[in-house]
Structures are given as C-alpha cells and as structure tokens.
Amino acid sequence: MPTIVSHIYEEPVKHKVVDFYALIEPMKVLVATEKPFAKKAVDAIREVVEGAGYELALLEKYTDKAELLAAVKDADALIVRSDKVTAEVIAAAEQLKIVVRAGAGYDNVDCAAATERGIVVMNTPGQNANAVAELALGLMIYMSRNTFKPGTGKELSGKKLGIHGFGAIGQIVGRYGKALGMDVYALSPSITDESIFEQNGAKRVATAEELYSTCDYISLHIPAKPQNIKFVGKALLESMPKGAILVNTARKEVVNEEELAEVFAVREDLKYATDIAAASQAELNEKFGNRVFATPKKQGAETAEANYNAAKAAASQIVDFFVNGNRKFQVNK
C-alpha cells in the first residue's frame, strides 16, 4: 500500500492512502471443464484473460456438480466444454454475465435460463471443426476396414458420401471426401447460398430421404435442436443402400436408437460408428458386435489444435464482449 509522508507536524506522520483500484474486484473468468483442455490451451486462455487484467479460476476434472455450483458463485464469465450449465448452475452464478461454450454444440447450456437472467451465451463456431471432420473420415475408414479385424474391407474412393448438416464441420468433411475420390452429396435446408455446396465439393440434395437412399456413407453434422431429436429413424435407415455406414460425430440424441436396433436386426449389412455412445450402447454392442462402434470417450474435438483454437477464441470473445460489447457469436438472441 503506498504511503504519504506528511511534514506538517514536527514529527513526520504517515497517512495511509486508500488504493481505490485495489478495492475494485477484477473480473473473474472461470474455466470449468470436466474434460480439461490441453495445457497449451489453458495457457492461451490465461494469457488473454490476465492480459486484460481479469482473474482466471480453473475447475478441472470435477466429479461432483456441487464443485461447479460453488465455483461459479463469484464468476463474471464462464468457459465450458460439454459441461452441463443447467438452470441450477445459472442460479448459483450470481455475478455471471457471459457463458462461452468452447466448441460448436451448445445443447449443454440452458439458454432459456441464461436469457431470463440477461446472461449472454456464445459458442466458438468452426474452431474445432477440422478435428471433428478428420474423426468422421477416420471412423468411415475404421468401419470400412472391419474395425481392423482380419478380413477384406472396402475403400472410400468411388463411393457416395452423404453429409447431413452442412455447417463448418460438414463443409470440411465435404472437401476431404472429395479429395478421397468420393461422390459427395449434402443436405442443409438453412443454407441459401448455393455456391457453398460447390465450393466444398458437394452436390445439394433437397431431402433427407434422397440423401439416405442415395449414399453409401452418411456423416451426421446436425445440432441437437428439438426438430432434430431422434431424426434418424427407421424409414431413413431402412432406405440406405446395401452395406451403408452411418457415422455420428454430432450428438447421440439425433439418432433414434431403438429404431436403429430394430433396423439393424433385419439389415445385417448396415454399420454404425458414433463418437457419442448411445444410451443403449452396451446393448447395441452385444447385439451387433463389430457392426457398431462407439469411441470410449468423446474424441471429436480432442486434439491439441482444436483445444487451443476453441479455448483461445472463448477467452478472446469474453474480453471482446466486456471491452467492446461484441456479441457476434451470441446464440441466445
């Protein structure tokens, strides 16, 4: 604490000066990740957050919701991955002004509860897209080679690839599929610019029925919005060509698991690979063996590059929001 030495009196007297800046609490940014970011990604967050004069708090690998509820209490900003930001978490976060989901899908955040409190919710679209796209292609190859068990597999080249959802991830999958010699089709009712399909190596199809009945591989890239829950069901699965493979790097909720099991019991040629284990995954594994595969833990965005990009973007978006009021990536408008 600085001091002022006064010489008014014969004996110098020391008066304390109140440091008003020290009385103002710095903005607190909490990173709450049950599945932590790589160290480099955390370092990047720290650099951005502390560079702006804010305080960084880390809650990693937590196993109990109570830890999150306690940690958010005095946080002004929150960065999460797939961590559940429920109405209860939002209610406990008395100072919260912004939540950034470092990633694409924000179905883990209760946006309605946030909106009610005037809290801004953002995602970081595109930042981990390449990692997810590479995994989708990897899963297609893995299933095409019989999960690397002895036997004759098949190649992707020359096959038809259907991309269901043509956002940042789907577009990269389109380009990679094209580069592998695949005939690429894509479905996205929300894209109005036709050139996006051509630029990313895909032909546009108008309906899911057309996509599923045409393609040897379907790669899912639709968000878990209400209209997409259990969207991939009996009719679409039954219409898939012989030997078709469904790859899900989106969300388990977009596939109707019960109907998938029903169709797979009859269609012994179909295969399913998912990065988000189905609720009934153990049952599916038991019934269908190597025809189904789920990554042991969600792998899509689990690369050093994706971690770094999404984490750094999340921190930068928070600072840009506080300093400039930038809400470009707000999703709860």
Positions that interact with ligand 3PG (CB under 6 A):
35, 81-82, 103-105, 128, 298, 300-302
Which uninterrupted H or E stretch holds 185?
A: strand 183-187
Helix 304-324 and helix 129-144, axial crossing angle in degrees, nearest 10 = 150
Q: Three-state SS for 59? A: strand
Q: Please state the closest distance from residue 83 (CB atom) to ligand 3PG, in A.
A: 8
Q: Which is nearer to ligand 3PG, 37 or 197 (CB)?
A: 37
Q: Please state the closest distance from residue 81 (CB atom) to ligand 3PG, in A.
A: 3
Instruction: List beta partners, residue 32.
Output: 59, 80
Q: Please state the closest distance from residue 104 (CB atom) to ligand 3PG, in A.
A: 4
State phi, psi for 122 to the nearest 5 degrees.
Answer: -130, 160
Q: Which is nearer to ligand 3PG, 103 or 165 (CB)?
A: 103
Q: Which is nearer to ligand 3PG, 37 or 185 (CB)?
A: 37
Q: Which is nearer to ligand 3PG, 104 or 222 (CB)?
A: 104
* One-letter-per-residue 3-state SS of 186-221: EECCCCCCCHHHHHCCEEECCCHHHHHHHCCEEEEC
Q: Please state the closest distance from residue 302 (CB atom) to ligand 3PG, in A.
A: 6
Q: How far is CA 93 from CA 30, 71, 98, 176, 301, in A?
A: 11, 8, 10, 42, 27
Q: 23: which 2 tokens?
A: 């009385």
**In this chain, which residue has its C-beta nearest to ligand 3PG?**
103
Q: Which is nearer to ligand 3PG, 205 or 250 (CB)?
A: 250
Q: Please state the closest distance from residue 124 (CB atom) to ligand 3PG, in A.
A: 8
Q: Please state the closest distance from residue 108 (CB atom) to ligand 3PG, in A.
A: 8
Please check whether residue 153 is in contact with residue 270, taking contact to mean a CB–CB distance below 8 angstroms. no
Q: Which is nearer to ligand 3PG, 182 or 310 (CB)?
A: 310
Q: Please, what's the b/e burial string for 95-114 (b: 16 or more CB within 10 A of its CB; e: otherwise)?
A: ebbbbbbbbbbbbbbbbebb
Q: Please state the closest distance from residue 130 (CB atom) to ligand 3PG, in A.
A: 12
Q: Which is nearer to ligand 3PG, 244 or 301 (CB)?
A: 301
Cβ neighbours for 154, distance < 8 A, ≥ 6 positions apart: 144, 243
